[in-house]
A and B are shown apart, each in its own frame.
Chain A
Amino acid sequence: MATSIFEQSPPTLIFNSTTIEDQLKCKIDSSVLTHSYTSAIFFADKLLNLVPLNSKKYIENLYILCNALYCDKQYQRSSFLIQKYLNQRNLKHQGEDEALIILKLKYLSAKCKIETNEFDQCLQILDNNHNNTDNNNEDGSIINNTNNNINNSNINDNLDDYDDYDEENYTGKDLLKFYVNMNKSNTDNKNDENINNNNNNSKNNKEILIIKSNIALIKGKCFENMDNLKKAKFWYIKALLLDYNCYEAFESLTKSHLLTFQEEIQLLKKLNFQADDIWLKEIYALSLKKYDNPNFTSHYNYIELYDNSLNNNDNNNNNNNSTNTSTKTNNSNNSLLKINDIRNKLINCNDILTMISEYYFYKQQFQESYSITKKILKEDKYYNNSTCIMVLISSLFELQLTNELYYTCHQLIDSFSQNSSISWYGIACYYQLIQNSDLTQKFFTKATTLNSRIGAFWLGFGHFFATKGEHDQAMAAYRTSSRLLTGCHLPLLCIGMELIRVHNLNLASQYILQAKDICPYDPMTFNELGIIEYKNSQFEEAIKLFEMALEISKIKNNNNNQLNYSFNSNGNINNNNRFKLNNNEKKKSMVMMSYMESWEPTVYNLAHCYRKLRRYDLALHYYNMSLSLIPNNPSTFTALGFCYHLQGSFDEAIDYYHQSLSIRDDTFTNVLLHKALSLSILNYD
């Protein structure tokens, strides 16, 4: 009976434990909602002791307590309690309902381990899950089946096989197929379908699916932090295939460029989006790589919408003219209107704007990408989307706005005291821009020390070493970044470029061809291949490659043209009709030159090739084009002079040599000038 501490309790009150349990649960819920975790823990602890150890309710209450502990950041305590319980309990006799909550407990414990950076223990916990369950389906419960099937030891074996797989021989397309086959080998999909059809357990099964997906996500994170990117990739993809709403897995894959573009597209196709979630699919499509295939138009919906909103701004015509660029012409379709509506509202969202700005960045419209990211950061000062900040810093670097870059980096350092490695990267870029190499090196080192897992930092570091001429350090940096950015062709390409610099042409071409495999739509790849051919004196081949590079760059800038070419089985380019430049079209393209300034080196190289083949008219044409792209360039003047010299027009040659020498004094030009002068006056050199 109640003691005298309590006031008059009504005589009919029996100290009813179930009522107190419910009360406690209420109190805990409200405490957690208002984030007063200390109170929540207090009540949960009492709740736990109200039920005997081996009852069904104990495990639920344990979960509530440990959840509150996790919210209060007492990770060690939470995982300790869970492990203690699980160890002393015989998991072989789990009932149907309990399996779910035991899974949740394990998941919670794993999450705690991640927070304390104990990745191997985390994996152990999740793997114990596999090892403890038998392959016994005696009660035929669906849950057990799925448990067994996910945690089939088969999978682990196959993954080990994959580790021995010869890296050099696989292409990107095969990789995803491999993963997908992995997932087919278990009966997950079928079971999921059964689950979906089974209305009784549908809510439960959805929960299971989400937890399984999250478990896969955690495994992926562990492997990523333990530097095993292959397995990390595997588990992230798994997580997405189980539940496409797991945005964290998707982000981890796309942000670190773990997948190549082909793999990304395939993954997106594999995810079965429901009709209501098409908007999510669009956003995922928008997040994929933007420097690859210009034919990939799924993300154009948002970009067209943004373009139009820019054009309509002056007329205050806000977005009511929905710009639907898809091929569906039936405007009375309800779902279409719904999607347009959603799009119109989401276009102002920071994430979407970030992706649009990234698109403009890779299209080399740096002013646009800068203005978008600047606006985003102004409105949301602490927006720590690393893509956004990266695009901002890179745009400022490309635009060479040193003043703004300096100020922006200061602001970033002030705002992000925790996630500040990217601010140091920005500062390193600033010093690179004003060409202070000591400080650049210092800050790159700092950035990579703070967070050595961001490939972009190493890539920038490599560029810096390359400009300084330190070949070995550059190669090391590039190699590190290629290890981290597994799906990105840039590190491989840069390694190739460095190898060209030291005249190791065979190895260079291997790397560059590998890069081309991953991303066939980068003009720079073709430029470098062309240079290799040039150095091997294969000028015809070089010309083809340089022209290809220029065509791709033109197409990319001008999205209205469709790039229709494919690779035949030899890996050679198979030009479509539209693209085979016969002589007439070549002359036409001579007339309309609209290459960007950044591809001037390619034009210049192309001119050299023609000169070597003694087709001086074309050589002159391209040299002049190069001059119009980057005027007052002494090397172009010298080259022009040389061309005229070879044709015998000594006066023009001398003219150009003088122009070149007035800008920069150069031995080669001097020698040639000397020869030309003697030729024109004395008839001998």
Chain B
Amino acid sequence: MIKFELIKSINDLNQRGLLLGSKWSSEQLNGLSPKILNQVCDPEEEKKQFDFNSNNIESSSPPIGSNEHLKYLLAKSYFDLKEYRRCYDVLVNCKYQLNIFLRSYSLFLALEKRKEEDIIEQQNQKQQQQAQQQQAQQQAQQQAQGQDLTNPDNKNSTNNNNNKFNNARQVLIESVHKYPCNWSAWCDLATICSDSADIVMQLSLPNHFMKDFFLAHFKLELQQNNESLQIYQSLVKTFSNSTYILAQTAIANYNLRAYDVGEEIFERLIELEPSRLENIDIYSNILYVRDKKASLSMLAHKAMKIEKYCPETCCIIGNYYSLKLEHDKAIMYFQRALNLNDRYLSAWTLIGHEFLEIKNVSAAINAYRKAVDINPRVLQSLVWSRSNLSTIKTTTLLFILL
């Protein structure tokens, strides 16, 4: 039963600190069409599924009241407050897999945080490399320890950084087979496989509604928009109120340059979720392309009120200034977006466009290079996303980048 699977997944993912996954699961749970929500489940089937899962998961969490459970509670509270190393320290010598996972994951996050901070602080390349190597060593240690079969997700996160994509891929697939409702794992899988589309087809993925979500997400990243739209259309029958699916279809339409359809869908999305900022920067792109100053201005003001310091807001405001032809301010805001999130792809491409506008071609090329580094597929959208690029400029750009 989809409903109970999702409910369970929310709980499990929350326990392990995989917050994005649990947020996604709860969104989809609320997006289920009312018919399915009200369906009475066949009790036997439910019991079967429950048993299957419980064998794996339930045994991995400590019984309530035991020492390990108390440690878990303490560690989790540190984790929630983002004190990762403290959490790591508490969970020393734990037997239960839940605790082991939490420990390794918190160490991983702590090291990631340190790595990013080092990269920002230290301009010296050599020191950067040193820092990275340090992390790698510690993570290798972690790898040896993190043998939690039911939650192999942890392993692949570390594997990413070591560039052992094959390993990571295998581990992720294993994880996904065992526990399908883990959106974080699927996401990571998509990121790893992004360079090779064919490999995905060869992979043996479990037959589950999550696979559809994954495929649709993956194809969207590869810009295979029509196929992605098809999958979403079939998913919409089950998850009719899902705002995630709505947003994804809007993005697909944007990629297909069907701007009016995209705009409509985004308007509906905003009506349903007025305080949503996720993906709304794409809406601001659409408004920019369609030259709708008033709507963009209103969106920018609203975004400021909702959340001033998040990359999506900065991108929206950057678009707004760009439309008003104040390119310096636009660049400032895109820069701010990048300060908040170094790997925010659209901020790189947009800042590249802005540099072009003020004729700073070298900075533009730099920005585009960074974008391509993050996701090589961005080239396709680059050429089409701004209609004011002259053809000469476009061809020279492509020439340089390729």
A residues with a Cβ closer than 8 A to B are 402-404, 406-407, 410-411
Q: Restricting to B258-298, which residues have a CB under 8 Å from any CB of A?
A: 294-295, 297-298
Q: Does B302 contact A (CB under 8 A)?
A: yes
Complex Cα distance, B298 from A407, in Å, reads 6
Determine the main DSSP class of A at the interface with B. Answer: helix
Complex Cα distance, B294 from A410, in Å, reads 7
Chain B residues, Cβ within 8 Å of A407: 294-295, 297-298
16 A-B residue pairs with CB within 8 Å: A402-B301, A403-B298, A403-B301, A403-B302, A403-B305, A404-B298, A406-B294, A406-B297, A406-B298, A406-B301, A407-B294, A407-B295, A407-B297, A407-B298, A410-B294, A411-B294
How many chain B residues sit at the interface, stated as a range, is under 10
Q: How far is the CB of A392 from chain B (nearest CB, A)?
A: 16
Complex Cα distance, B302 from A403, in Å, reads 8
Complex Cα distance, B294 from A218, in Å, reads 41
Q: How far is the CB of B275 from chain A (nearest CB, A)?
A: 14
Complex Cα distance, B302 from A406, in Å, reads 12
Q: How far is the CB of B169 from chain A (nearest CB, A)?
A: 47
Complex Cα distance, B295 from A406, in Å, reads 10
Q: How far is the CB of A298 from chain B (nearest CB, A)?
A: 37
Complex Cα distance, B294 from A406, in Å, reads 8
Q: How far is the CB of A367 from chain B (nearest CB, A)?
A: 15
Complex Cα distance, B293 from A410, in Å, reads 10
Complex Cα distance, B305 from A410, in Å, reads 21
Residue of A nearest to B293 (CB): A410
For the complex of A and B, 4 pairs with smallest distance between CB atoms = A410-B294, A407-B298, A403-B301, A403-B298
Complex Cα distance, B305 from A402, in Å, reads 12
Chain B residues, Cβ within 8 Å of A406: 294, 297-298, 301
Complex Cα distance, B295 from A410, in Å, reads 9
Q: How far is the CB of A357 from chain B (nearest CB, A)?
A: 21
B residues with a Cβ closer than 8 A to A are 294-295, 297-298, 301-302, 305
Q: How far is the CB of B310 from chain A (nearest CB, A)?
A: 19
Complex Cα distance, B295 from A403, in Å, reads 10
Complex Cα distance, B293 from A411, in Å, reads 11
Residue of B nearest to A411 (CB): B294
Complex Cα distance, B349 from A452, in Å, reads 51
Q: How far is the CB of A423 from chain B (nearest CB, A)?
A: 12
Residue of B nearest to A414 (CB): B294
A402-B301, A407-B295 given. 14 additional CB < 8 A pairs? A403-B298, A403-B301, A403-B302, A403-B305, A404-B298, A406-B294, A406-B297, A406-B298, A406-B301, A407-B294, A407-B297, A407-B298, A410-B294, A411-B294
Complex Cα distance, B299 from A407, in Å, reads 10
Complex Cα distance, B295 from A404, in Å, reads 10
Chain A residues, Cβ within 8 Å of B297: 406-407
Complex Cα distance, B300 from A29, in Å, reads 56
Chain B residues, Cβ within 8 Å of A410: 294
Q: How far is the CB of B308 from chain A (nearest CB, A)?
A: 15
Complex Cα distance, B294 from A411, in Å, reads 8
Chain A residues, Cβ within 8 Å of B301: 402-403, 406
Residue of A nearest to B302 (CB): A403
Complex Cα distance, B40 from A504, in Å, reads 79
Q: How far is the CB of B285 from chain A (nearest CB, A)?
A: 19
Chain B residues, Cβ within 8 Å of A404: 298
Chain A residues, Cβ within 8 Å of B295: 407
Complex Cα distance, B267 from A411, in Å, reads 15
Residue of B nearest to A404 (CB): B298
Chain B residues, Cβ within 8 Å of A402: 301
Chain A residues, Cβ within 8 Å of B298: 403-404, 406-407
Q: How far is the CB of B265 from chain A (nearest CB, A)?
A: 17
Complex Cα distance, B302 from A407, in Å, reads 11
Q: How far is the CB of B62 from chain A (nearest CB, A)?
A: 44
Chain A residues, Cβ within 8 Å of B294: 406-407, 410-411
Complex Cα distance, B299 from A403, in Å, reads 9
Q: How far is the CB of B320 from chain A (nearest CB, A)?
A: 13
Complex Cα distance, B301 from A411, in Å, reads 17
Q: How far is the CB of B287 from chain A (nearest CB, A)?
A: 12
Complex Cα distance, B298 from A400, in Å, reads 15
Q: How far is the CB of B191 from chain A (nearest CB, A)?
A: 37
Chain B residues, Cβ within 8 Å of A403: 298, 301-302, 305
Residue of A nearest to B297 (CB): A406
Chain A residues, Cβ within 8 Å of B302: 403
Complex Cα distance, B305 from A406, in Å, reads 15
Complex Cα distance, B305 from A411, in Å, reads 22
Complex Cα distance, B133 from A267, in Å, reads 91
Q: How far is the CB of B195 from chain A (nearest CB, A)?
A: 43
Q: How far is the CB of A131 from chain B (nearest CB, A)?
A: 56
Complex Cα distance, B390 from A411, in Å, reads 32
Residue of A nearest to B295 (CB): A407
Residue of A nearest to B304 (CB): A403
Complex Cα distance, B296 from A153, in Å, reads 64
Q: How far is the CB of A396 from chain B (nearest CB, A)?
A: 13
Complex Cα distance, B295 from A400, in Å, reads 19
Chain B residues, Cβ within 8 Å of A411: 294
Complex Cα distance, B298 from A404, in Å, reads 7
Q: How far is the CB of B294 from chain A (nearest CB, A)?
A: 4
Complex Cα distance, B33 from A114, in Å, reads 59
Q: How far is the CB of A384 from chain B (nearest CB, A)?
A: 20
Residue of A nearest to B301 (CB): A403
Complex Cα distance, B297 from A411, in Å, reads 13
Residue of B nearest to A378 (CB): B271
Chain A CB within 10 Å — which of B295, B298, B302 has the most? B298
Q: How far is the CB of B78 from chain A (nearest CB, A)?
A: 39
Q: How far is the CB of B34 from chain A (nearest CB, A)?
A: 14
Complex Cα distance, B302 from A413, in Å, reads 21
Q: How far is the CB of A347 from chain B (nearest CB, A)?
A: 24
Complex Cα distance, B292 from A410, in Å, reads 11
Complex Cα distance, B298 from A403, in Å, reads 6
Complex Cα distance, B301 from A410, in Å, reads 15
Complex Cα distance, B290 from A78, in Å, reads 47
Complex Cα distance, B301 from A406, in Å, reads 11
Complex Cα distance, B274 from A403, in Å, reads 14
Complex Cα distance, B318 from A519, in Å, reads 53
Residue of B nearest to A410 (CB): B294
Complex Cα distance, B295 from A204, in Å, reads 56
Complex Cα distance, B294 from A402, in Å, reads 13
Q: How far is the CB of B23 from chain A (nearest CB, A)?
A: 28
Complex Cα distance, B360 from A295, in Å, reads 71
Complex Cα distance, B305 from A246, in Å, reads 49
Q: How far is the CB of B261 from chain A (nearest CB, A)?
A: 20
Q: How far is the CB of B239 from chain A (nearest CB, A)?
A: 24
Chain A CB within 10 Å — which of B294, B297, B302, B305 has the most? B294
Q: How far is the CB of B263 from chain A (nearest CB, A)?
A: 15
Complex Cα distance, B298 from A410, in Å, reads 10
Q: How far is the CB of A404 from chain B (nearest CB, A)?
A: 8
Residue of B nearest to A407 (CB): B298
Complex Cα distance, B109 from A549, in Å, reads 64
Residue of A nearest to B271 (CB): A378
Complex Cα distance, B302 from A402, in Å, reads 11
Residue of B nearest to A402 (CB): B301
Complex Cα distance, B297 from A158, in Å, reads 59
Q: How far is the CB of A310 from chain B (nearest CB, A)?
A: 20
Q: How far is the CB of B268 from chain A (nearest CB, A)?
A: 13
Q: How far is the CB of B266 from chain A (nearest CB, A)?
A: 15
Complex Cα distance, B325 from A231, in Å, reads 55
Complex Cα distance, B285 from A377, in Å, reads 27
Residue of A nearest to B298 (CB): A407
Q: How far is the CB of A295 from chain B (nearest CB, A)?
A: 40
Complex Cα distance, B320 from A403, in Å, reads 14
Complex Cα distance, B305 from A80, in Å, reads 63
Complex Cα distance, B298 from A402, in Å, reads 10
Q: How far is the CB of B302 from chain A (nearest CB, A)?
A: 6
Complex Cα distance, B297 from A404, in Å, reads 10
Q: How far is the CB of A411 from chain B (nearest CB, A)?
A: 7
Chain B CB within 10 Å — which of A403, A406, A411 has the most? A403
Chain A residues, Cβ within 8 Å of B305: 403
Residue of B nearest to A409 (CB): B294
Q: How far is the CB of B295 from chain A (nearest CB, A)?
A: 7
